[in-house]
Structure 1
Amino acid sequence: MKKILVIGPSWVGDGVMAQPLYRRLIERNPGAEVHVFAPAWTRPLLERMPEVTASHLNPFGHGALRLAERWRVARKLAAQDFDQAVVLPGSLKAALIPALAGIPKRTGFTGEMRYGLINDMRELDEDALPRMVERFCALAEAPGTAPAAPIPYPALHANSEAGAKVAARLGLDAQKPAVALCPGAEYGPAKRWPSRHFAALARAFADAGWQAWLFGSDKDAAIGEEIATLSGGAAHNLCGATSLADAIDLMGRIDLAVCNDSGLMHVAAALGKPLVALYGSSSPDFTPPLTDKARIVSLNLECSPCFERNCPLGHTDCLQKLMPQQVWDAALQLIARHPPTTTPAP
């Protein structure tokens, strides 16, 4: 039985988009075990992916070499007798662990000085593989072979019982439809729709008989509180009040999501939720929500996408000028196509 170790991404959204790769590795290697080396914050995703046999903790943050510790971690992985490693990040550090672990076949794209560490090296044709999910899946194929289209969408499964317990703990109403508003974006401010716009949207949902739940990490707590205040209490701030596991299970209970281009956007898509996806500095051509239930809203300004963490022009017009009415209209179109399971209050 073949054992494959995937050196997984560090971002939640990328972690979701890697699931089709795990599925393809098993298709090409029937009976194989797929293990994932991943940071702690992405492991709740892996627990909800039946393709993943086990996850192994990646304790190394960005920029940390810690060579002696990498050696110790690699020796523990060596005891697993993996046949192949698939390295998704493009850094030298990401390629060190499988090489130090002595994994015979180490597959990955060319990156920063990885020759020798990666011995099944692939050249990335960005034009042929414009989307990240395609690039991930290409590493399951023979060299020079594009992944078969269409690539199946990621699919996460929420635990309904756990979601009900989280809702009860947070005092949330199960009798009204709920929209998830996800105002964070770990990458940087140039991907964040303004707080005042989220607040206006929350008020519109409240007027329509919906409740608005703000999802995010503890890093988004201040933004969430600002939105809750600006909305006059129409938005319920849950940012920092849930773990990622809790958020996944609670998002299983929502009827719609409105998200920046973020990890939670990809979680909502993988849960099969109707989704309004907001794009400013980034591009849906590269990291779109992988679902048939999404409406992408973007102004497509001449200066975007710039892919910068902060607007290089200092105005972030791509999101500042994206008005709540445009997002509300997109939400109404999705609601008409995918009505909530709970009837809005009159």
Structure 2
Amino acid sequence: MRILIVGPSWVGDMVMAQTLFQCLKQRHPECAIDVLAPEWSRPILERMPEVRQALSFPLGHGVLDIATRRRIGKSLAGQYDQAILLPNSLKSALVPFFAGIPRRTGWRGEMRYGLLNDLRVLDKQRYPLMIERFMALAYEPGAEIAKPYPRPSLQIDPASREQALGKFALALDRPVLALCPGAEFGEAKRWPAEYYAKVAELKIRAGWQVWIFGSKNDQPGGEEIRQRLIPGLREEVSNLAGATSLAEAIDLLSCATAVVSNDSGLMHVAAALSRPLVAVYGSTSPQFTPPLVDRVEIVRLGLECSPCFERTCRFGHYDCLRELKPRAVLEALDRLVGDPVEVGE
């Protein structure tokens, strides 16, 4: 059985999609799974043993370009028995349709009648979690999803990890606190830089080192965290945001003693690497896309106005994050890995 997955466009969603691949392998051990997705996702997919190959999709998020989608579809004709679509957009259904894949499975979305011939109607009450909505597509309509649910688990090549450590002159002679202070979604998911700096300061004083991860967009924020520390402590922080490839970031995150992260793609990467994780939530909720790892502490205030799922605070105060002080995160770290620090006020 040959299955083409049309993958999602966000890092966290791609990590969580591994639960679908695991379910497919459980049901059809000999199936071959290929994933059509943006090129940036290749380092994630290459670390999933269930995936045979990642197929690079050249169009950006939101670009229609029917001619290119038709060309890609025709190039895949006759190669697959089933396509499973994770995005709910009409655009995502075009390549499998043009490829003539016999069974085209997905949730009812943007007028996809005719494009999909295995069209499912989503019961959000039955499947409240994103991974449940992914995994259900591995089963016949209405079937129960087997429990316990699988969890994303990214595989690390030790040689690749050593190469990344050497490239950035990083050593594992002290515990590593990884900070992931970015969030592509928007400001309402970003815990303040000064709070991250306070956590970093106290852990450095306790003998730890700090590595900051993120995209190029997160580099200034990472540098702000570093600059908030006094000289002497500042040198114990490596701002890797924007400097690493995604592949290098995954390999280096696997070295972390503990991770503090906003609700972001890297949060899900850290969970899939089984790192002890403190996940900071502001405008969003762990009820839909929680980090799937045993050693996790969810830190959130649960204000009356949250979760709002907005990119920016409609009131302008960002209290769901501003009122969430460093003490809560430091105490969560202590519960996860011990080595308590004196928090103060």
Both structures adopt the same fold (TM-score exceeding 0.5): yes
Where does residue 209 of structure 1 map in the other structure? 207
Where does residue 261 of structure 2 map in the other structure? 259
User: Quick one: which amino acid aligns to residue 226 of structure 1?
Assistant: E
Where does residue 323 of structure 1 map in the other structure? 325
Q: 2:287 aligns with which of 273, 285, 288?
A: 285
State the secondary structure of the residue aligned to 1:78. Answer: coil
Where does residue 342 of structure 1 map in the other structure? none
Q: Check conservation: 1:159, 1:252, Cα contact below 8 A.
A: no
Shift of 1:59: 1.3
Q: Check conservation: 1:179, 1:254, Cα contact below 8 A.
A: yes
User: Quick one: which amino acid aligns to residue 103 of structure 2?
Assistant: K
Structure 1 gaps, min length 5: 340-346
Where does residue 73 of structure 2 map in the other structure? 74
In 2: Cα distance, 1:235 partner to 1:203 partner = 9
In 2: Cα distance, 1:30 partner to 1:68 partner = 35
State the secondary structure of the residue aligned to 2:329. Answer: helix
Where does residue 191 of structure 2 map in the other structure? 193
In 2: Cα distance, 1:145 partner to 1:306 partner = 32
Structure 1 residue 14 corresponds to structure 2 residue 13:
yes
Where does residue 30 of structure 1 map in the other structure? 29
What aligned pairs does 1:208-247 form with structure 2 within 5 A after superposition? 208-232=206-230, 233=234, 234-247=236-249
Where does residue 310 of structure 1 map in the other structure? 312
Where does residue 155 of structure 2 map in the other structure? 157
Instruction: Give the CA RMSD over aligned residues.
Output: 1.1
After superposition, the C-alpha distances for 1:89-133 in whole angstroms (9 at most, x for unaligned) are 010001111111111100000101111111101111111111100
Structure 2 gaps, min length 5: 340-345
In 1: Cα distance, 2:85 partner to 2:229 partner = 44
Where does residue 182 of structure 2 map in the other structure? 184
User: Quick one: which amino acid aligns to residue 307 of structure 1?
Assistant: F
Where does residue 343 of structure 1 map in the other structure? none
In 1: Cα distance, 2:267 partner to 2:330 partner = 17
In 1: Cα distance, 2:169 partner to 2:42 partner = 27
Where does residue 94 of structure 2 map in the other structure? 96
- In percent, how many aligned pairs have the same letter? 53
In 1: Cα distance, 2:54 partner to 2:238 partner = 33
User: Quick one: which amino acid aligns to residue 158 of structure 1?
Assistant: I
After superposition, the C-alpha distances for 1:45-73 in whole angstroms (9 at most, x for unaligned) are 11011100111011111221111111111
After superposition, the C-alpha distances for 1:283-315 in whole angstroms (9 at most, x for unaligned) are 101000001110000001111111111111211
User: Quick one: which amino acid aligns to residue 259 of structure 1?
Assistant: S
Shift of 1:149: 2.2
User: Quick one: which amino acid aligns to residue 309 of structure 2?
Assistant: F
In 1: Cα distance, 2:119 partner to 2:324 partner = 42
Where does residue 133 of structure 1 map in the other structure? 131
Where does residue 343 of structure 2 map in the other structure? none
User: Quick one: which amino acid aligns to residue 238 of structure 1?
Assistant: L
Q: Check conservation: 1:199, 1:235, Cα contact below 8 A.
A: no
Where does residue 333 of structure 1 map in the other structure? 335
User: Quick one: which amino acid aligns to residue 27 of structure 2?
Assistant: R
In 1: Cα distance, 2:59 partner to 2:28 partner = 30
What aligned pairs does 1:51-70 form with structure 2 within 5 A after superposition? 51-70=50-69
Shift of 1:171: 2.0
After superposition, the C-alpha distances for 1:149-185 in whole angstroms (9 at most, x for unaligned) are 2211111122222222222221223211101100011
Q: Check conservation: 1:74, 1:101, Cα contact below 8 A.
A: yes
Q: Check conservation: 2:6, 2:37, Cα contact below 8 A.
A: yes
TM-score scaled by length of structure 2: 0.95
With over 3 angstroms needed to count, the CA separation of the structure-2 counterparts of 1:146 and 1:189, relative to structure 1, is farther
Shift of 1:210: 0.3
In 2: Cα distance, 1:269 partner to 1:209 partner = 24
Q: 1:115 aligns with which of 113, 116, 126?
A: 113
User: Quick one: which amino acid aligns to residue 164 of structure 2?
Assistant: V
In 1: Cα distance, 2:275 partner to 2:102 partner = 41
